[in-house]
Amino acid sequence: MAEEKTTAQVEETAEAKQETKVEAQVQDPKEFLENFDWDKYEQGIERVEDSKLKEFEDLVAENFVDTADEEVVQGTVVYLTEREAIIDINAKSEGVISLNEFRYNPDLKVGDKVEVLIDIREDKSGQLVLSHRKARTIMAWDRVNAAHDKEEIVSGFVKCRTKGGMIVDVFGIEAFLPGSQIDVKPIRDYDQYVNKTMEFKVVKINHEFKNVVVSHKALIEADIEEQKKEIIGQLEKGQVLEGVVKNITSYGVFIDLGGVDGLVHITDLSWSRINHPNEVVELDQKLNVVILDFDENKSRIQLGLKQLEKHPWDALSEDIKIGDKVKGKVVVIADYGAFIEVAEGVEGLIHVSEMSWSTHLRSAQDFVKVGDEVEAVVLTLDREDRKMSLGIKQLTPDPWTDITTKYPVGSKHKGIVRNFTNFGVFVELEEGIDGLIYISDLSWTKKIKHPSEFVTVGDTLEVEVLELDVDGRKLSLGHKQTTENPWDKYETEFALGTVHKGAIAEIVDKGATIDFNEDIVAFVPSRHLEKEDGKKLAKGEEAEFKIIEFNKEFKRVVASHTAIFREEEQRNVKAAVKKAAASADEAKPTLGDANEALQALKDKMEANDKKKK
């Protein structure tokens, strides 16, 4: 809306027009029209040249900020109080920001340039509202994205430790630094990085969840890769290098050779046997190692530590020879023997057969255990192959040297049951003297299927020497021979035809059994269980039995109840026949009469048989 002109302005305009008319009367009309100032004539102001307008616009653009809401601009700290910072952004008023938003920068001072976000151009009180925190967040995401796209190096402050890594402040954004991305070597103490400023590379951004992942390891990998190529190119077998213990495992030690890792296997750490590599080395220890081998790409490097020292066998005294006594410590035990360290790095094997004069099977653990100090005799010694065999039993006399005097055939002794086999029992008479009792020589009367039915390991048995083989170092023993054979007595007591009283113990297949005593178990066939009335004997029923078979060798006894009354019938028949014959002689009967009498007796016997059936 145009403003109304005052009286003075009107008068000025009139005077100007009057002057213009006077000048126009004096000047040339054409020249007058070309130079006439129409803006001044119409608006009462002088026209400004375009060059001056452009200069003015540039000054405004340079010094004046268009204070649009939600816009990030740069401001200058012009004043600081205990709680606030006054920021000038070249607007018509300054903004106020709490110092809490500058906690990350304790060195903030007047004159510092800071980025701010225009929250509100003018609040109810006319105050410009700014936010440095919001501006920093917006600008941080722009910077982070730019750093990720351009693979730039950024600086960050490690705030704290978290599960699996660290939290890093990058441009005001909390980024995650995984533990595996801190360094090329394993990190054992994460706390050493807290409250430190480090350089990082942005490796991953999740825009959806606003997550940023950074890596310090990525910055040093490139340099290490160059060092690695240089080192690998110079590797040679037998070369000695200095390295640092990077990691210790149960099977070996990883050595950092300056960007290249090599493995020292546990067997290449020491000439002596060790249970774990940490007995020899410790983490971060510097040591010299020798290159033993590597693959074509030199990516797997095999190193050695013990190879830098003289082999212990080379330092073994020349005075040691076969037959000498040596002392050492048990370092390893196997089923077949034990390894004895007689000098550092020098071991000898004591086979289990050289631990005792005993010939029955035993384990090395029955004689020694790891850590024992033992004395042994050198049996074999090969310095070229670096092998030595030892013996313990040679320290004591061979018990077989006077075996015939101690244990002649027929002599009786006591021994301890040491072991079972399916066919017998091994009995130890003394250390180194073992004998075998066959299963058939355990008992005169019992039928034994396995020795465990008769004895247990550790039992003491009386034995008799049955056979002696000095050359084969074998003893044949018997246990039953130490007692009288009861079957010699039973052979008479249960002779064929003898009659004994007993009860049916069990009904078995094809017959029954009778226990005449603890040794004699007789068998009664089914047809011999028949009683006189035609019925059969039942379990528990007592009756008389006749021995119809006795075998001492196989311990077999067979009895019959039926045979008792059958023989009586046969005796009756014979007696009747004899009586009939005598009567016939007296009466002088005819031949027909005699036949009739015999036929009558025969019919009676058949009738009895049918009745029984």
State pLDDT tens for residues 560-591.
Answer: 988 888 776 666 556 666 666 666 565 555 55
Strand partners, 141: none
Q: Which residue has the higher pLDDT, 444 or 368?
A: 368
* Span 141-189, pLDDT tens digits: 888 888 888 888 888 899 898 888 889 988 878 899 888 888 877 777 8
> Do 176 and 202 meet the contact criterion of CB atoms below 8 Å apart?
no
Neighbouring C-beta atoms of residue 473, cutoff 10 Å: 16
Please give the average per-residue pLDDT across 215-224, as a whole number.
78
How far apart, in whole angstroms, are the C-alpha atoms of residue 285 and residue 291? Answer: 18
Domains of the chain plus CATH, in order, are: 72-137 (2.40.50.140), 151-221 (2.40.50.140), 235-304 (2.40.50.140), 312-395 (2.40.50.140), 402-478 (2.40.50.140), 486-563 (2.40.50.140)
How far apart, in whole angstroms, are the C-alpha atoms of residue 549 and residue 46? Answer: 162
pLDDT > 70? residue 367:
yes
Please give the average per-residue pLDDT across 420-445, as a whole number.
87
Please give the average per-residue pLDDT across 128-145, as a whole number.
81
> CA distances (Å), 46 to each of 27, 36, 42, 43, 104, in order?
21, 11, 10, 8, 55
Please give the average per-residue pLDDT across 121-150, as a whole number.
79
Residue 478 banded pLDDT, cuts 50, 70, 90: very high
pLDDT > 50? residue 2:
no
pLDDT > 80? residue 12:
no
Please give the average per-residue pLDDT across 473-490, as a whole number.
86
Please give the average per-residue pLDDT across 402-407, as a whole number.
86
pTM comes to: 0.41
Neighbouring C-beta atoms of residue 404, cutoff 10 Å: 11
Give whichever of 65-79, 81-95, 580-594 has the largest mean pLDDT. 81-95
Residue 94 banded pLDDT, cuts 50, 70, 90: confident
Q: If residue 32 lies in a helix (H) or strand (E), which one and from where to where?
A: helix 29-35
Residue 221 is predicted with a pLDDT of 74
The region that residue 438 occupies, defined by phi over 0 for left and psi between -120 and 50 for alpha, beta otherwise, is beta
Q: If residue 605 lies in a helix (H) or strand (E), which one and from where to where?
A: helix 591-612
Residue 562 is predicted with a pLDDT of 87
Share of the chain above pLDDT 70, in %: 79
Residue 67 is predicted with a pLDDT of 47
Matching residue, tokens 């351009």 = 150
pLDDT > 90? residue 512:
yes
> Do 262 and 254 meet the contact criterion of CB atoms below 8 Å apart?
yes
Residue 10 banded pLDDT, cuts 50, 70, 90: very low
Residue 597 is predicted with a pLDDT of 59
Residue 608 is predicted with a pLDDT of 57
Residue 101 is predicted with a pLDDT of 83
pLDDT > 80? residue 227:
no
* Long-range Cβ pairs for the range 564-567 (8 Å, 24+): 564/499, 565/531, 565/532
Residue 61 is predicted with a pLDDT of 55
Strand partners, 133: none
Strand partners, 539: none
Share of the chain above pLDDT 90, in %: 16
| Nearest Cα residue to 350 out of 383, 316, 327, 318 | 327
Mean pLDDT of the chain: 80
* Range in 79-88, 177-186, 324-333 the model is least confident about: 177-186
Residue 150 is predicted with a pLDDT of 84
Strand partners, 213: 176, 204
pLDDT > 90? residue 558:
yes
* Span 497-511, pLDDT tens digits: 898 989 999 988 889
Contacts of 107 (CB under 8 A, 6+ apart): none
CA 99 to chain centre: 57
> Do 269 and 280 meet the contact criterion of CB atoms below 8 Å apart?
yes
Residue 8 is predicted with a pLDDT of 45
Please give the average per-residue pLDDT across 200-221, as a whole number.
84
| Nearest Cα residue to 490 out of 520, 448, 522, 446 | 520
Q: What ranges make up the beta strands (E) of 400-452?
A: 412-420, 424-430, 433-438
